[in-house]
């Protein structure tokens, strides 16, 4: 990857990180990625994340 591409990706990551995120949109995104179930529990492959993510 070229230096210019790295700089562009880094600035994009900073922009995304600074954006305000709504809980509903984050949950919907995780559910569509099969990370969370409809009951907002982690799926089998991601159950270890329950140890590090804050409860609801």
Q: Is residue 41 in some structural domain?
A: yes
Instruction: Give residue 52's domain range.
Output: 20-56
CA distance to 1, 12, 29, 49, 50, per residue, from 15 (Å): 20, 5, 19, 25, 27
Q: Is residue 44 in some structural domain?
A: yes
Give me the number of domains the chain comprises. 1
Q: What is the pLDDT of residues 32-56, one digit of tens each?
A: 999 999 999 999 999 888 888 766 5
pLDDT of residue 53: 76
Model confidence, pTM = 0.62
pLDDT of residue 54: 62
Question: To the nearest whole number, what is the mean pLDDT of the chain?
Answer: 89
Q: Is residue 30 in some structural domain?
A: yes
């Amino acid at each position: 990857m070229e230096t210019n591409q790295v700089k562009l990706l880094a600035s994009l990551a900073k922009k995304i990180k600074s954006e305000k995120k709504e809980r509903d949109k984050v949950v919907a995104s995780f559910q569509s990625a099969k990370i969370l179930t409809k009951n907002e529990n982690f799926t089998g492959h991601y159950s270890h994340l329950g140890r590090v993510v804050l409860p609801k």
